[in-house]
Structure 1
Amino acid sequence: MAATQFLDTAQGRRLAYHKTEGDGPCIVFLGGLKSDMEGTKAVHLEAWAQAQGRAFLRFDYSGHGESLGRFEEGCIGDWHEDVLAALDALTDGPLVVVGSSMGGWQALLLARARPERIAGMVTIAAAPDFTEDGWWAGFDAVQRETLEREGQVELPSDYMEPYIVTRRMIEDGRKRLVLREPLRLPFPVRCLQGTADTAVSTQTALRLLEHAECGDMRLLLVKDADHRFSDGPCLGLIEQAVLDVLG
């Protein structure tokens, strides 16, 4: 496997990445919260792209994986800046963006910032606005008081160690919401969602489908698939969705 490379951004962050040269549009994988570019979906999709001679980019947000920084100090806006920095510096021309979980939110933020760059989008258990509609909405009075008093609160996760949710994460997330105002997606979009996902509900997927302004958007619900969406059949569905938006 090729050695990890690093990009220094204008915000003073150092991002780890792997880039494969090949035919465009370049396929870019945006990972989930606390995930990294060595995850099953990212590595599988890279190998698939390489076998087809397609350009591919995977990278770690700051505070994730091999990139520098502490996760607890980051927020949605910081990772949005990381996405823009990586794509502006490391890619040219059209992109097919594949966003998983929080990476789905990042993909939608990218669509606002660089719509002219995107040739197609695939989301996997996309989690737009989860800091507000998932975390904040689900906090009880004690958790909200703890967040205000101590600046952070700990939440359990079904998939990894507990999350440390900071007040900055909540407050910054409110500036990045995408389901409250028009969301134009002027390119093909394919959304994949497992019905056994305990982190992102099918209602979130349906809300995104109904809210977005898109002339070619489809949602595929996969019975009994969980949030990881990384077994053999699910990986095959991701490949097919990428091919679909490539046309």
Structure 2
Amino acid sequence: MSLPDYLHTPHGRRIAYHQSAGTGPGVVFLGGFNSDMGGTKATYLQDWAERTGRAYLRFDYSGHGDSSEKFEDGCIGHWAEDAACAISELTEGPQILVGSSMGGWISLLMTQRITARVAGLVTIAAAPDFTEDSMWDSFTDTQRAEVMEQGVTLLPSEYGDPYPITRRMIEDGRNQLVLRSPLPLPFPVRFLQGTDDADVDMSVALRLLDHATGPDMRLTLVKGADHRFSDPEELGLITAAIEEILTKIAP
């Protein structure tokens, strides 16, 4: 595996990335919460992009993977800043955003903040507003007290060490919500969701589909797929969604 390149942001953070040159519109992968750009979906898409000659970018948010900062010092707002900076500085022209889990939320924020750069959107188990609707709403009184009084609570994870959920993350998340106000998506959009996802319930995908507005929006439910969405058939659905969008936006 080659070493990453680095982008220094105006916010003083160092963002690690891998980029493949190719034709546009390019594809940008936005990863999940406490994940990194070395995951199965991110590297699969790079292989696909290199085979097809498509421009491609994957990167680590600050506090993730090879980027600078500590995870517990970050929040949705910081990671959205990282994404906007990476897309704006490292890519040219319109891009198709592919957002996985938290990356789905970040990609929706990008449609509002760098609207002119977004030509299409694919989400995989998108988790918009999860700090409020999934975390805070499900926290016990003890966990809420730890967040507010001690500044952090540790949330168990089946993927490894517990996640430190900070007061900053919860309070900042309330400034990034996308399901409480109009969410226009004026380009081709494909939402992918597994029915056996234990981390993002299928109801979230249905709520997102119902809430967002746009001329070309589809939700594909994959029976039996879990949150990883990384077996060969599921990975094929991701590239099929990208390719379908490309046929719709090609000049």
Equivalent position of 1:213 in the other structure: 213
**CA-to-aligned-CA distance 1:209-247 (integer Å, 9 cap, x gap):** 000011111001111110000011100111101111112
One-letter code of the match for 2:95?
L
2:142 is matched with which residue? 142
* CA contact 1:188–1:245 (8 Å) conserved in 2: yes
- AA aligned to 2:88 is D
Q: Report the CA distance between 1:140 and its aligned residue.
A: 1.5
Measured against aligned partners, the alpha-carbon deviations of 1:14-46 in whole angstroms (never above 9, x if no partner) come to: 000011110001100000001100000000000
1:122 corresponding residue in structure 2: 122
In structure 1, the partner of 2:69 is: 69
Q: Which residue of 1 aligns with 2:172?
A: 172
| Pairwise CA RMSD | 0.8
**Corresponding residue for 1:59?**
59
Alignment of 1:28-107 (within 5 A): 28-107=28-107
Cα distance between partner residues in 1 of 2:149 and 2:131: 18
Q: CA deviation at 1:160?
A: 3.0
Tell me which amino acid in the other structure corresponds to 1:95. Q
CA deviations on 1:172-208 (whole Å, 9 max, x unpaired) are 0000000000001010000000011000000000000
* Range 150-159 or range 123-132, more displaced: 150-159
Give structure 1 stretches of 5+ with no counterpart: none
Where structure 2 has 5 or more consecutive residues not aligned to the other structure, the ranges are: none
Q: Give distance in 2, aligned partners of 1:243 and 1:90.
A: 22
Deviation at 1:161, TM superposition (A): 2.2
Q: What is the CA–CA distance in structure 2 between the aligned matches of 1:161 and 1:39, rounded to whole Å? A: 17
SS in 2 for 1:161: strand
Amino acid at match of 1:149: E
1:9 aligns with 2:9: yes
**What are the residue-to-residue correspondences of 1:156-195 with 2, within 5 Å?**
156-195=156-195
Paired positions, count: 247
Moved over 3 A (4+): none
Q: Distance in 2 between matches of 1:172 and 1:225?
A: 31
Q: TM-score, normalised by structure 1?
A: 0.98
Q: Distance in 1 between matches of 2:169 and 2:67?
A: 19
| AA at the equivalent of 2:155 | L
**TM-score of the superposition, structure 2-length normalised?**
0.97
CA distance in 2, matches of 1:21, 1:101: 26
What is the aligned-residue identity percentage? 58
Q: Take 1:162 and 1:108, find their aligned partners in 2: how far apart are those partners?
A: 27
